[in-house]
């Protein structure tokens, strides 16, 4: 009679290997580990019902006793048995077994696939995809027949791709209309691409929430300032005042914004897959040098041109008396906002981008050992 084997799920760090054995009602499993071989025998409830189960594996490399002197650390739960083996030499194994072929009941526990590098900070922690690019993909392809993508990664790629297509559409419409009508197309820019720009701008608030949800690294303040600054210019000053929508500055403002984004979003997609395309990286951290000041100049012109309109219409201005006993003068706020935008905000944003450029475009020093 052939004794069945249970389903075994394995994972590793650079120092240990863990086995999760899917069996219920296990009391005292018989586990023996000798050098690079492990044998497991017990009675429990598994895929073949209540039965005797066993398996034997020749491991890829040698193991050593744990700190208590035991060959393995064994933990028994109601629905599984966990076995942890310490590696004799810290390293990443390309597979669990000595031979390339693995039994059908041996699976990979991708949820536990991580690196134990001794860091407590989540930002400093690494994973096997960074340490050994290609190994994780290879194991997943062997396990399930294709490269399994993280849902967060799929979402980020789709988001960045959607935004890229959106701003390419905006630029394309502007370019085609300018090619056909020349400068006469400038006055109708907002009418033709304004709705698309507004929708894309609202979508950008997802970028503010991505760090909060742990989808991306970095802070919230800088993206919030950038997105909210654009939203204020677009929705409060341009969209609410029809006379501003026909000004040539709107054309140039959309041109600056869209040109920045058609480089930024492809760069983000390459970073998601940890691909470094130097020309794209260089453009991402160089194009801002002329485009950001020009964009801020266009935004400043929009604010200056809007002040007389808001003085005339008193839109968004709250005067006393009112039930809240509160006053708000929109033209005064615009002058104050212009002052802050021209000096502190511009300095903060440019300094932030300069620091990023210094880090991202820093020459890599390669140390070669002399023979």
Residues assigned a catalytic role:
292, 299
Which among 337, 279, 282 is positioned nearest to 304, based on CA atoms? 337
Distances (CA, A) of 28 to 36, 74, 75, 80, 81: 22, 10, 11, 12, 10
On whether the CB atoms of residues 101 and 57 are closer than 8 A, the answer is no
Distances (CA, A) of 88 to 29, 84, 251: 24, 13, 66
CA dist 36 and 228 (Å) reads 59
CA dist 177 and 171 (Å) reads 10
Structure tokens at 256: 């600056």
Structure tokens at 276: 């470094």
On whether the CB atoms of residues 147 and 140 are closer than 8 A, the answer is yes
Classify 69 in phi/psi space as left (phi over 0), alpha (psi -120 to 50) or beta: left
Distances (CA, A) of 351 to 280, 288, 344: 21, 12, 10
30 class by beta-carbon count within 10 Å (0-12 exposed, 13-18 middle, 19+ buried): exposed
CA dist 113 and 136 (Å) reads 9
Report CA Rg, the chain: 30
Compute, in degrees rounded to 10, the torsion defined by CA atoms 129, 133, 135, 141. 80
* Four-residue CA torsion sign, 149, 159, 285, 360: negative
CA dist 200 and 167 (Å) reads 8
On whether the CB atoms of residues 304 and 247 are closer than 8 A, the answer is no
Distances (CA, A) of 195 to 16, 237, 240: 55, 15, 13
């Amino acid at each position: 009679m052939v004794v069945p084997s249970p389903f075994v799920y394995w994972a590793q760090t650079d120092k240990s290997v863990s086995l999760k054995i899917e069996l219920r009602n296990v009391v005292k499993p018989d586990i023996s580990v000798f050098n690079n071989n492990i044998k497991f025998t017990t009675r429990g409830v598994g895929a073949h019902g209540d039965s005797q189960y066993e398996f034997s594996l020749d491991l890829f490399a040698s193991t050593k006793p744990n700190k208590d002197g035991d060959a393995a650390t064994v933990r028994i739960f109601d629905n599984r048995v966990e076995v942890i083996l310490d590696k004799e030499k810290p390293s990443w194994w390309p597979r669990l077994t000595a031979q390339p072929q693995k039994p059908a009941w041996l699976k990979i526990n991708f949820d536990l696939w991580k690196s134990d590098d001794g860091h407590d900070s989540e930002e400093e922690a690494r994973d096997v995809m960074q340490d050994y690019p290609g190994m994780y993909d290879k194991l997943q392809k062997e396990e399930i027949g294709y490269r399994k993508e993280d849902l967060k990664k799929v979402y980020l790629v789709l988001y960045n791709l959607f935004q890229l297509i959106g701003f390419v559409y905006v630029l394309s419409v502007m370019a085609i209309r300018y090619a056909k009508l020349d400068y006469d197309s400038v006055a109708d820019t907002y009418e033709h691409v304004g709705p698309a720009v507004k929708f894309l701008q609202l979508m950008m608030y997802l970028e503010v929430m991505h760090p909060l949800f742990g989808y991306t690294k970095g802070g919230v303040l800088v993206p919030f300032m950038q997105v909210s600054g654009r939203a204020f210019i677009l929705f409060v000053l341009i969209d609410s005042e029809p006379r501003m929508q026909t000004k040539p500055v709107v054309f140039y403002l959309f041109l600056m914004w869209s040109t920045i984004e058609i480089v930024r979003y492809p760069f983000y997609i390459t970073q998601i897959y940890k691909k470094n395309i130097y020309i794209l990286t260089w453009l991402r951290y160089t194009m801002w040098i002329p485009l950001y000041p020009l964009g801020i100049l266009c935004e400043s012109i929009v604010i200056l041109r809007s002040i007389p309109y808001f003085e005339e219409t008193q839109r968004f201005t709250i005067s006393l008396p009112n039930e809240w006993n509160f006053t708000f003068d929109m033209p005064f706020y615009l002058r104050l906002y212009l002052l802050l935008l021209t000096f502190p905000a511009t300095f903060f944003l440019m300094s932030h981008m300069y620091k990023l450029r210094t880090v991202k475009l820093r020459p890599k020093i390669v140390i070669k050992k002399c023979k």
